[in-house]
Amino acid sequence: MSSAPVITATDVTKRYGDFTALAGVSIHVDTGECLAILGPNGAGKTTLTEILEGYRQRDGGQASVLGVDPNKPTGAWKAKLGIVLQNATDMADLTVSETIKHFARYYPNPADPDQVMAAVGLTEKANSRNGKLSGGQRRRLDVALGIIGNPEVLFLDEPTTGFDPEARREFWVLIDRLKSNGTTILLTTHYLDEAQYLADRVAVIARGRIVAQGAPDSIGNRGDAIVTWTEAGREQAQSTTTPTAFVEELSARFAGEIPHLAIRRASLEDAYLELIAQDRQTNGGDAA
């Protein structure tokens, strides 16, 4: 890791009229690190990402990517970035191969288009027109366009939406390879297992504020155990630091065998859902 973060945001704010999308967000990402931004729809994930990409102007705070203020982008700076947006439906008449080779010409040191097609699992679709691709295949093409320029920084906004489980795992291997080569990655995802696998650190955002930040295993009460069982025809769950004592209490209550008893350690998903629930209890209602 380098001493200076590759990506920094300090007290970044963004407002749309009376609505505050970001209320003083601060994050950093070091060289070769993957930071996953987690949060409900409307929490501010995409707004923050697009500010750091240079697509949106922030209203306040400071931001830097590769030493450049995203509010003042240059062509040389943009060539060092790889961006996978949430949605892309353009270039429908071009083939997959034509599209990737066309974008490769925009960069001073592009990756080999055939290798990129293979890496995202599109070799067999090389001559298919983009408009004929399935949603998952189109998403793979988006990822290919994001990495064709050998980026120093890669922004991934929900990149595996529409991927089947096998394709998602193959994508994870690709991201691991990019990280090992020094690529710095900012990831937004709704898949908590994806964040657990890929991210060195995660930041949970709710209502435009960071409510937790750190290594995936440090978020929330990850030392707790989750005890589940069936009672009165419904599945019950209890988080506890003393699972043995709790199970003894349940056993006494049931006078023996506990229906469908299971014990597991709290996952990142458990911690995330707890943080979001706490935020809603504190602030009321759903996230905007």
**Poorest-confidence range of 76-85, 107-116, 242-251, 266-275?**
266-275
Residue 165 lies in a domain: no
Kindly state whether residues 100 and 136 are assigned to the same domain.
Answer: yes
Kindly state whether residues 61 and 96 are assigned to the same domain.
Answer: no
Distance (Å, whole) CA 163 – CA 158? 11
Kindly state whether residues 102 and 214 are assigned to the same domain.
Answer: no
Residue 45 lies in a domain: yes
- Tell me: pLDDT of 287 over 80: no
Range of the domain at 128: 81-151
pLDDT tens profile 182-221: 999 999 998 899 999 999 999 999 999 999 999 998 887 7
Distance of CA 80 to the CA centre of its chain: 20
- Residue 185: CATH number of its domain: 3.40.50.300
Q: Given its phi and psi angles, is residue 121 left (phi above 0), alpha (psi -120 to 50 degrees) or beta?
A: left
241 Cβ neighbours under 8 A, 6+ residues apart:
223, 224, 225
- Tell me: pLDDT of 166 over 90: no
Kindly state whether residues 233 and 209 are assigned to the same domain.
Answer: no
Read off the pTM. Answer: 0.81
Residue 275 lies in a domain: yes
Distance (Å, whole) CA 38 – CA 10? 18
Kindly state whether residues 256 and 199 are assigned to the same domain.
Answer: no
Kindly state whether residues 233 and 267 are assigned to the same domain.
Answer: yes
The pLDDT of residue 89 is 61
